[in-house]
């Protein structure tokens, strides 16, 4: 059994652990091992249609290499630049991730630091997947802002996503366990 065979079928999350997921379908229980699980938010007992994806905005953080970009000149209008930057990131993530995740790093690199770097025209701008970085560089060009990236070659890995209602798992694969 392949998990993609359950696409659009109503399943129930019977149970899960960090390495596997038990799905109930038509009164049968199927175990899928979560190969190289990266991210999850599961609710035991959730029943809904299973959606299976190999391309999805949530996958970009794992399917593409991340690139660090530094700003080397000031935008004429920092607020407009930041708004355009937000829009360019949201064009790729489609709102599935908060755009600020790419311009901040927990307590180390705050949003205030990001805004200061933009206003000063100097310092780290973001750390983001390749396609987001490409979009951001277009914003830099449009605002005549000089930027430098480190890691400017796209490298892809294949990850998969299943969504069941409000629950989801991102993993390299979902391997059926007999």
- Residue 99 vs residues 50, 57, 153, 158, 171: alpha-carbon distances, Å: 27, 12, 22, 23, 22
Q: pLDDT per residue over 107-137, tens digit each?
A: 678 999 999 999 999 999 999 999 999 999 9
pLDDT values of the chain reduced to their tens digit, one per residue, 178 residues: 899 999 999 999 999 999 999 999 999 999 999 999 999 999 999 999 999 999 999 999 999 999 999 999 999 999 999 999 999 999 999 999 999 999 998 767 899 999 999 999 999 999 999 999 999 999 999 999 999 998 777 788 899 999 999 999 999 999 998 7
Return the structure tokens found at 87.
């829009």
CB neighbour burial string for 105-144, b if at least 16 within 10 angstroms, e if fewer: eeeebeeeebeebbeeeeeebbbbbbbbbbbbbebbeebe
What confidence score (pLDDT) does residue 119 get? 96
pTM (predicted TM-score): 0.87
CA 37 – CA 21 distance, rounded (Å): 11
- Which residues of the chain does CATH 3.30.70 include? 59-150
For the structural domain made of 59-150, what CATH number should be given? 3.30.70
Quick one: pLDDT at residue 33? 97
Are 25 and 9 in contact by the 8 Å Cβ rule? The answer is yes
Question: pLDDT digit string (tens) for 64-85?
Answer: 999 999 999 999 999 999 999 9
- What's the pLDDT score for residue 109? 87
């Amino acid at each position: 059994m392949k998990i993609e065979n359950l696409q659009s079928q109503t399943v129930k999350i019977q149970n899960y652990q960090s390495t596997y997921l038990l799905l109930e379908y038509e009164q049968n229980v199927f175990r899928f091992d979560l190969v190289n699980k990266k991210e999850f938010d599961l609710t035991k007992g959730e029943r809904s249609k299973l959606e299976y994806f190999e391309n999805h905005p949530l996958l970009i953080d794992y399917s593409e290499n991340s690139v660090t970009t530094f700003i080397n000149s000031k935008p004429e209008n920092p607020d407009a630049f930041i708004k355009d930057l937000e829009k360019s990131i949201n064009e790729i993530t489609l709102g599935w991730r908060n755009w600020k995740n790419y311009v901040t790093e927990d307590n180390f690199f705050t949003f205030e630091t990001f805004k200061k770097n933009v206003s000063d025209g100097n310092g780290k701008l973001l750390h983001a997947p390749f396609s987001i970085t490409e979009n951001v560089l277009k914003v830099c060009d449009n605002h005549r802002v000089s930027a430098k990236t480190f890691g400017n070659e796209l490298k892809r890995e294949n990850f998969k996503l299943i969504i069941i209602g409000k629950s989801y798992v991102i993993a390299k694969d979902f391997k059926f366990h007999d």
